[in-house]
A and B are shown apart, each in its own frame.
Chain A
Amino acid sequence: MVRGSKQLSEAASDYVCVRVTDMSRIDLNEIEFDFDLTFAALVMHPDGTVYHRYGGRGPDEPNGYLSLESLCRLLRDSIPEHRAHEARAHRRKKRKVLHAIDLPVLRRKRARGQQIDCVHCHTINDARHVQAQLDGSWRRDDVFAYPDPERIGLSLDHERQHIVRKVKKGSPAAKAGIKAGDELLAVGEQQSVRTLSDVQWALHRAPFARNRLAVRIRSEGRERSLVLRLKSGWKRCPPERFAWRPTKWNLTPSPGFGGPTLQSGAAPAGNGQPQAFRMRVDYIVDWGENAHRGRAARAAGLKIGDIVVGFAGKRDFESFDHLHAWVGLTLKAGQAVTIDVLRGGKPLTLRYRLPK
């Protein structure tokens, strides 16, 4: 039992509520959501039909789209959809079951005697990533999962998340005729849109290549069907917009060290002067499967406690997460790079080749 608000209790009263804290026995051929999230919710039929997803976040707003009000509204508004689905004759689709614990990478670990106490959401991404690398099927573009609506030019309302808050000029959404205040009714495969996560799911399912995305909106009281023309590679986002994702830890190459951001190098809003990026090296990865990365940085002279102010000539990182994502998304293994550090207040430039 969990203590909650009366509002949530009432909104959830028609539901059977489940809290999943271990993904081991979750069928990945049925349940899919953005596994980079640390909190997610599904509203679904017991036959496996997912009505809505909830819990998505913006690149720089961890909790901006989470509120009790929006969650309760989703629960209330989804009941008619459930009743309609129940009224239709339907059978549970037969499908092959793939429990998360049976992902090939995790199965091999267990076969080697390694105990896996709990499969976290991000573990699924990690295991899939390793398997794709082993299969030779991994592509860097695969990391751009569950794109933010900003990739098509949309910014959504935080509370009523199917309502368009802003449209970027010149974007596919703007060219298709979507305006601020319009309601998204359906996007691609998602035939009923209520949340940011619904939109992200639809974008995730859309092809990475050039394509036409069908969208249905309500604009000034009138329903309209539109087509967004998306260019090849439209899901790619800049490293600073990707930086929040735990998936970045799987990218190659990787700097081989880490620690807290002491000062952001992002230009402040308005006319403020940009500050110098600073992060403190708290650890050098010289253990485990990626020990070679940290050893390369250590061999270059990097020490715990060094203050990193630049990497490969770039100095305007917003955070260490940004630096890490930038290295993984833009540099190549074997590339010669520099690390600009302060040690005891004195500047030093260290040089090494980024290992795989």
Chain B
Amino acid sequence: MACGLAAPNDLIAAMRQPFIVQLLAFGLLLCSGLPAQEEAEITWHRDFDAARRLATERGAPLFVVFRCEP
């Protein structure tokens, strides 16, 4: 990592911190020159019931993350 402060492993840890710390951590992450191949996107559903219906249709398990946001 270019900055050494916000490696991918720190993502979850950063989610635990107060918003201002999260903002700083994610800012550093974005500025740190992550290699393009390390970036990927996950579709995060916000509606639990809708996600549950989708998972039932697909026969897929649910991965549910609980994290408050300001």
Contacts and interface: CB of A to CB of B under 8 A. Distances in A.
Interface of A: 1-10, 12, 14-23, 25-26, 31, 33, 37-47, 51, 55, 62-63, 66-69, 71, 75, 78-79, 82, 86, 118, 120-121
A69 B60 CA distance: 22
A52 to B, nearest CB: 10
A18 B67 contact: no
Contact of A26 (B16, B37, B48): B48
A121 B68 contact: yes
A8 to B, nearest CB: 7
Contact of A19 (B45, B52, B59, B60): B45
Contacts of B64: 17-20, 31, 41-44
A3 B41 contact: yes
Nearest to B49: A25
Contact of A75 (B9, B55, B63): B63
Contact of A16 (B16, B39, B40, B62): B62
A20 B40 contact: no
Contact of A22 (B13, B16, B68): B68
Nearest to B40: A9
Contacts of A71: 12
A286 B58 CA distance: 54
Contacts of A79: 61
Contacts of A21: 46, 67-69
B29 to A, nearest CB: 8
B42 interface: yes
Given A21-B46, A25-B49, A66-B13, 18 more contacts: A4-B39, A4-B40, A6-B38, A10-B40, A15-B61, A16-B54, A17-B43, A18-B45, A26-B48, A39-B66, A40-B66, A41-B65, A42-B63, A43-B62, A44-B61, A46-B56, A63-B16, A82-B60
B26 to A, nearest CB: 9
B67 to A, nearest CB: 5
A283 B65 CA distance: 34
B16 A86 contact: no
Given A1-B42, A38-B67, A15 B16 contact: no
Nearest to B39: A3
A14 B63 CA distance: 9
10 contacts: A8-B42, A14-B61, A16-B62, A18-B62, A23-B66, A38-B16, A39-B65, A43-B63, A43-B64, A68-B12
A107 B54 CA distance: 30
A79 B62 CA distance: 10
A60 to B, nearest CB: 15
A66 to B, nearest CB: 5
Given A16-B63, A21-B69, A45-B62, A2 B13 contact: no
A206 B44 CA distance: 34
